[in-house]
Structure 1
Amino acid sequence: MSGPAPRRRLGLWAALALTALLAVYVVLVAVRAVQLVATGEPVGVVLGVALLVGPLIVVALIAREWMLATDVQRMADVLAADGQLPVDDLPRSPGGRVDRAAARAAFGPYRERVEADPGDWRGWYHLAFAYDAAGDRRRARAALRTASSLHRGRPVRPDLP
């Protein structure tokens, strides 16, 4: 059995490298924030506390994204084992861009599947990739988050597309 595709591996290494760089930045900011708080000066304390809030938010957001990425990969592995991964067979321009009209036309069955069974993570996963192909990244991400929550068995009240 062969390992992951080189492109996927490259993407993983790039994400890890960027996360590591961000971690260094967060640590440096946190150290400076603690130094400001330690001065005891009112302005230093206020600035230090404000600077500590930023790294905490960044760490929470990065952790959230890594958890989503991990769960999306788990869902993809399950779908691949069942032969149900989304297939990107939409027509493209010579430059490689997806034909938006074709993407919108292919969108209907995925939306109908989710409307018929809003508790099925597989339907939400496929809908996310249909949104992505249609160019709606915000809804694609929301659909992936819904799929992830359902996949992990968390009760959600998904907003239907």
Structure 2
Amino acid sequence: MRARVAAIAMAVILVIYLVFVVQYSFVLIGTGVGVAVAMGIALLVLPLIGAWLLWREIHFVLRGERLVRILGAAGELPVDDLPRLPSGRAVAEAADAQFPAYKAAVEADPGSWRAWVLLGLAYDASGDHARARWATREAIKLERVSAR
């Protein structure tokens, strides 16, 4: 829950920042000075890129959470009984012990989005967030194809 609140707070701060950047870019363009106009135009491009990245991230999270909810409703999520550090993070060695089963499930059926989601959750529990995102992206792609 704390991560969700932090993500929402960061998104709100980014939107506020982007609004100020756009306003300042119009001020620069309004000066009529060549260099200032060029900087103002460049500043208009940056908020577009930032907004696109923010939308992409929110879209990824919502789609990933939807897949986890589907697995949860079907009773297919593993029980989270991993030992925890005082910070609440799972003990890496215990989380790593999950990998062989989930990797084997993906290797047995690489077209199963369910197996990829479970592998992503195992990566996330062990703290390997880059691989967790990669596995979740694979699950999203596979689920989208199977829904067609």
TM-score range, shorter chain: 0.7 to 0.9
* Paired position in structure 1 for 2:142: 150
Alpha-carbon contact 1:131-1:140 (below 8 Å) kept: yes
* Paired position in structure 2 for 1:45: 37
Match status 1:54 vs 2:13: no
Q: Give the TM-score normalised by the residue count of structure 2.
A: 0.84
Alpha-carbon contact 2:29-2:40 (below 8 Å) kept: yes
CA distance in 1, matches of 2:91, 2:5: 31
* Paired position in structure 1 for 2:103: 111
Mark the CA change 1:77 to 1:97 in structure 2 (over 3 Å): closer, same or farther. closer
Mark the CA change 1:88 to 1:115 in structure 2 (over 3 Å): closer, same or farther. same
Q: Give the TM-score normalised by the residue count of structure 1.
A: 0.78
Q: Percent identity?
A: 46
Q: Deviations over 1:109-139 (max 9, x none)?
A: 1111112222211111111111112221111
Match status 1:21 vs 2:10: no
Alpha-carbon contact 1:98-1:133 (below 8 Å) kept: yes
**Pairs aligned (count):** 146
RMSD of aligned residue pairs (Cα, Å): 2.2
More helix per residue: 1 or 2?
Answer: 2
Match status 1:85 vs 2:77: yes
Alpha-carbon contact 2:89-2:125 (below 8 Å) kept: no
